[in-house]
């Protein structure tokens, strides 16, 4: 089942990477503030070095915003893999570091010039504090990017402030360093809490979407997977098959050998279903001995029929449960939809109709046949 991340650590990391794109507004404010404040400082000092630094700062700001806006949409995809997430993070980090480096050099130059003036120093200090606060608020859940960015932006100006050898400036440097260290400490504590909170949330979400007996996805997860398929199919016409099945002979097994054996049999059936589907498909337990499978990205309706026949064959093999060898069978009713807006519950109802016909006629597989003139499902 591809839509789930297979390792809890990967799922947590993906959520942390997604959090990077929540800070678009602080980054936008910082970019505007840097350009306006930088222009005022350059105008007031006439320094060619500051003027030369302003342009790459503007470019880095624009690139940073473009990456956040564009890649934020990709990061929000439900089926984001850990490899894709890390690629997005690397691209994010490059633009973030670039802006931090330019800001640090700009601040270094401002404080290094004795003739800059207290007003320009005050404006530059406000920029640095605002940047550090924005980093902590916007990307604080990824310390590996946040901490280097803050250090690159703040450390060079602090060096220049200390070099001025003025008592008030030295005190300012000490306070700035103290605030920076305190912010780094808070970032690490916040990151540690986030790991626990996100892990707990993902665990609860997984439990809410899985059947406790078979570990298969439940009806809620089936609905979400189908909705994802609808979203992915927007603008195209891929075929989706929905299969419904139940177990012939399960009730006698349950009555004769007891519920523990029946439960073990259901779990064994679930494992066979999980092993029979592709990564892009999803098999779910609807309740009792009823199961459903969403088969995605079909190129021809015959693929659904062949798949249903494989399911019948897989379920029909003997089961070894404890000391007992058990034999059951199944029938599969399925519907093939070429309309991505078709409701899941409607498809389940149509597949159930086909399943009823298959059981009544004693055949293993039955495809839903629509009334004449209906083309959305066949």
Please give the pLDDT value at position 230: 61
What number of other Cβ atoms are within 10 A of residue 264's Cβ? 17
Same domain, 186 and 247: no
Q: What is the pLDDT of residue 374?
A: 58
Q: In what order do the strands lie in the sheet with 239-248?
A: 282-287, 290-298, 239-248, 329-337, 365-367
Mean pLDDT of 43-64: 94
In the predicted model, is pLDDT for residue 222 greater than 90? no
Domain membership flag for residue 37: yes
> Between vectors from CA 104 to CA 99 and to CA 106, what angle results, nearest 5°?
95
> Domains in the chain: how many in total?
2
| pLDDT recorded at residue 336 | 92
Answer yes or no: do 203 and 280 share one domain.
no
pLDDT of 9-20, one tens digit each? 888 999 999 999
Average pLDDT over residues 62-76: 93
- Looking up residue 259, the CATH number of its domain turns out to be 3.30.70.270
pLDDT value of position 2: 40
Domain that holds residue 312: 219-367
The answer to whether residue 3 scores a pLDDT higher than 60 is: no
- In the chain, at which residue ranges do the beta strands (DSSP E only) sit? 239-248, 282-287, 290-298, 319-321, 324-326, 329-337, 365-367
pLDDT of residue 233 exceeding 80: no
Find out whether 295 and 15 touch, Cβ atoms under 8 Å: no
pLDDT of residue 206: 73
Asked whether residue 214 is assigned to any structural domain, the reply reads no
Q: Residue 6's pLDDT band (boundaries 50, 70, 90)?
A: very low
Residues 27 and 158 reside in one and the same domain = yes
Q: What is the pLDDT of residue 225?
A: 77
pLDDT range class, residue 97, cuts 50, 70, 90: very high
Same domain? 15 vs 107: yes
Nearest-10 crossing angle of helices 302-316, 259-276? 140
- Do residue 114 and residue 242 come from a single domain? no
Taking the whole predicted model, whether its pTM rises above 0.75 is answered as no
Phi, psi of 278 (to 5 degrees): -85, 170
* Residues 83, 165 within the same domain: yes
pLDDT at 249: 92
pLDDT of residue 372: 61
Q: Which residue has the higher pLDDT, 238 or 285?
A: 285
Q: Give residue for tokens 């439990």.
A: 207
Percent of the chain exceeding pLDDT 90 equals 59
DSSP bridge partners of 89: none
């Amino acid at each position: 089942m591809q839509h789930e991340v297979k390792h809890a650590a990967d799922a947590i990391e993906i959520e942390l990477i997604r959090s990077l794109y929540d800070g678009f507004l602080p980054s936008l404010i910082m970019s505007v503030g840097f350009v306006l404040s930088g222009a005022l400082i350059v105008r007031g000092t006439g320094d060619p070095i500051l003027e030369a630094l302003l342009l790459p700062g503007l470019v880095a700001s624009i690139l940073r915003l473009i990456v956040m806006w564009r890649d934020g949409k990709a990061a929000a995809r439900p089926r984001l893999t850990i490899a894709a997430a890390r690629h997005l993070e690397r691209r994010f980090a490059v633009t973030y570091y670039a802006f931090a480096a330019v800001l640090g050099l700009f601040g270094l130059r401002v404080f290094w010039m004795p003739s800059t003036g207290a007003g320009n120093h005050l404006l530059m200090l406000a920029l640095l504090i605002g940047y550090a606060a924005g980093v902590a608020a916007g990307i604080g859940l990824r310390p590996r990017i946040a901490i280097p960015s803050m250090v690159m932006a703040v450390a060079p100006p602090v060096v220049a402030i200390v070099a001025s050898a003025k008592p008030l400036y030295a005190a300012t440097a000490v306070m700035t360093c103290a605030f920076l260290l305190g912010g780094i400490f808070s970032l690490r504590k916040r990151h540690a809490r986030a790991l626990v909170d996100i892990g707990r949330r993902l665990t609860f979400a997984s439990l809410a979407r899985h059947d406790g007996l078979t570990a298969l996805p439940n009806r809620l997860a089936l609905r979400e997977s189908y909705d994802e398929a609808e979203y992915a199919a927007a603008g195209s016409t891929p075929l989706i098959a929905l299969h419904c099945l139940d177990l012939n002979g399960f009730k006698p097994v349950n009555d004769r050998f007891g519920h523990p054996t029946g439960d073990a049999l259901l779990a064994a059936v679930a494992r066979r279903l999980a092993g029979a589907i592709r990564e892009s498909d999803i098999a779910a337990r609807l309740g009792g001995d009823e199961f459903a499978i969403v088969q995605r990205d079909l190129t021809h309706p015959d693929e659904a029929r062949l798949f249903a026949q494989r399911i019948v064959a897989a379920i029909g093999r003997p089961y070894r449960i404890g000391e007992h060898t058990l034999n059951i069978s199944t029938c599969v009713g399925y519907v093939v939809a070429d309309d991505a807006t078709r409701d899941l519950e409607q498809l389940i109802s149509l597949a159930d109709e086909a399943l009823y016909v298959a059981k009544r006629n004693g055949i293993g597989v039955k495809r839903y046949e629509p009334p004449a003139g209906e083309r959305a499902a066949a």
